Structure 1
Amino acid sequence: MPGGPGGNVSGDTLNSGIPVVPPAQNSPFAPGAHLDEPGPHTPPKLPEPVQPNVPAAPAAKKKKKGRSKLVLLGGVVVVLGCGAYGAGLLMNHADVPKGTTVLGVDVGGGTRDEAVKKLDAALGERVNKPLKLTVGGDQVTLKPDQAGLTLDSQATVRAAAGSDYNPVSVIGGLFGGERVVEPEMPVDEEKLAAALERAAGGSGSAKEGTVKFVPGKAVAVYGKAGKGIDAAKASEAVAAAYKKQVETGSAGTVAVPVTNRKPTVSDAEVDAFMTRFAKPAMSANVTISVKGTSASIPLGPAKSLPQILGAKPASSGRLTETYDLKALKQLYGNTFDGIMIQRANGKKTPVQPTDVAVAMGKALRGKTPAERIGVIETNPS
């Protein structure tokens, strides 16, 4: 083939039809390089460290400005609350804290005595107002003071007095808040049950065995089964009605619960009581005197004894005698005035109706004139 520049391709530039690529400068195959001489050492490239497949931590959230304001506001509220609490404690030095009420009566802001006076003035009339009851269709009245029902003003004020450290009460007192105290209204259950029996009187068909003392004699009264007041439920209902009356001024008419009842005192016990006490007691006069003095008074079955003596059932179903101490005091009057009795505690006190009743109890059982003289000892020891 004709040659010319670029016309012929030499064997150096073409091997078997594949273009020759010049080797790199540092290649061992570069021209002039000796194959038996080591070339420059190139360290092997280490693999990239494997990254653990752990999710990236989320970027910290920026604090919201609103939360900071809430914290600040909370701090302000706490400071204001503490200030108000301290102010409330400083301003309320009364025995009975301001805003204290009992059954709607404001008794706070003053001394205990002032609180008692406020309570009695506001509720005194209601406390003593008779209750209206119905027993078996019959209407009767019940006097609270005779039935063991009362409002204990002193105890109520004692419960209301003293510092109240409750934050709600203290701070509330600054803004006219109310502190409600429950009244102390104790109930004498035994006295109430007896009063209900008396108030019921002839109401109901059940009759309890007893003995009545009338001028000149004792009369046996045998019991009978029938309808009568349910003592437990009646006491609960009457006590609740009394509290309502004291609080509001009226309790309306209270229906006293009734139930089937049998007499607790048997006919045999009535007869036995007649024999051991009632007949001997009404058989003749008794005389009560004081040892070492001329003071004495006779009491007879025609007039005096029926005013004093009574009978009531005990828990055992037995009858026991009773003495009306108020009537007894009226009968002996000033007979024993000025006479002192040495008591077990070392003190000397005037003759009391109970002293006369004890001496009378022994004399009423006497059979001879000498045995029917009751002597009051001035020095029982």
Structure 2
Amino acid sequence: MGGVAAALLAVVGGTAAYAYAGEVPRGTTVLGIDIGGRSRTDAAEALRAGLAAQADRLAAAIPVRLGDNQQISEVKPAEIGLSVDVEATVVAAADGPSSPFRLLFGSHTVEPVVTVDAARVLEVLSKGLGPDAQEMKMPAITFNGTTPKATYPKPGRGLDVDKAAQELRAGWLGTYPLAVPLAEVRPATSSTA
């Protein structure tokens, strides 16, 4: 009886050691790249190698439709600083769910942590705004001789940089074309000020 108990204990211990090996749970993938069952450092190296193998796909131009405009602009990910944050993605994978059953038999897909440079998004996408964009009218005072004439501010339609960056970050690796809505852009003052 003692030998059976020892064998059972060895099997359970071996299974637990297998299941909990590495800091990143077994069966974890990012963009189809297996990073599970490894230390964070090894998982980051595996993710970098896998991303390098997918470099052409990740660097491909992204079709983007701005506002109601039917014209589609193409944006290259490098132009707007769109990239996978390898370290943050590995941290998210390591901190993911780790039930014993899933560790032994399951798989877990982790979405990559994507970064984008909002200033570069504004610079690049502003070039393709087209006829849907309307410049806001800034307040001003002009003079006709000695008579002042007020120009009251009016909102326009333009790029909401935060929303555009969020859409690009979320949709980069999804279906195209990405729809980036235009938003009402208001001057920092009103006609009552």
The within-5 A match list for 1:307-326 is none
Q: Which has the higher contact order (CA 8 A, sep 6+)?
A: 2
Shift of 1:151: 0.8
Shift of 1:232: 4.2
| RMSD of aligned Cα (Å) | 3.7
What is the alpha-carbon distance in structure 1 between the residues aligned to residue 91 and residue 168 of structure 2?
Answer: 26
The TM-score with structure 2 as length reference comes to 0.61
**How many residues of Structure 1 are paired with residues of Structure 2 in the alignment?**
161
> Who is 1:166 aligned against?
99
Q: Do the aligned partners of residues 237 and 114 (structure 1) sit closer, same or farther apart at CA in structure 2, a change above 3 Å counting?
A: closer
Residue 13 (structure 2) pairs with residue 86 (structure 1):
yes
SS in 1 for 2:54: helix
Letter in 1 for 2:180: V
Whether contact under 8 Å (2:27, 2:103) holds in the other structure is no
Residue 27 (structure 2) pairs with residue 103 (structure 1):
no
SS in 1 for 2:82: coil
Which ranges of structure 2 fall in alignment gaps of 5 or more residues?
A: 1-7, 138-153
Q: 1:142 aligns with which of 37, 61, 75?
A: 75
> Who is 1:34 aligned against?
none
**Going by fraction, where is helix more abundant, 1 or 2?**
2
What is the alpha-carbon distance in structure 2 between the residues aligned to residue 196 and residue 84 of structure 1?
Answer: 59
Residues 206-247 of structure 1, C-alpha deviation per residue, up to 9 Å, x if partnerless?
Answer: 2379xxxxxxxxxxxxxx964433444433333221142xxx
Larger radius of gyration: 1
SS in 2 for 1:252: coil
The within-5 A match list for 1:261-276 is 261=185, 264=187
How many percent identity over aligned positions?
A: 30
Whether contact under 8 Å (2:136, 2:156) holds in the other structure is no
Q: 1:234 aligns with which of 155, 161, 164?
A: 164
Shift of 1:188: 3.5
Q: 2:113 aligns with which of 184, 189, 203?
A: 184
Shift of 1:84: 5.9
Letter in 2 for 1:160: A
Whether contact under 8 Å (1:85, 1:171) holds in the other structure is no
Residues 69-114 of structure 1, C-alpha deviation per residue, up to 9 Å, x if partnerless?
Answer: xxxxxxxxxxx7x776532332364454431111333223453354
Whether contact under 8 Å (2:115, 2:169) holds in the other structure is no
Q: Do the aligned partners of residues 126 and 83 (structure 1) sit closer, same or farther apart at CA in structure 2, a change above 3 Å counting?
A: farther
Whether contact under 8 Å (2:135, 2:156) holds in the other structure is yes
SS in 1 for 2:101: helix
What is the alpha-carbon distance in structure 2 between the residues aligned to residue 183 and residue 147 of structure 1?
Answer: 17
Q: Do the aligned partners of residues 183 and 190 (structure 1) sit closer, same or farther apart at CA in structure 2, a change above 3 Å counting?
A: same
Q: Do the aligned partners of residues 184 and 114 (structure 1) sit closer, same or farther apart at CA in structure 2, a change above 3 Å counting?
A: same
Which ranges of structure 1 fall in alignment gaps of 5 or more residues?
A: 1-79, 210-223, 245-250, 267-381
> Who is 1:132 aligned against?
63
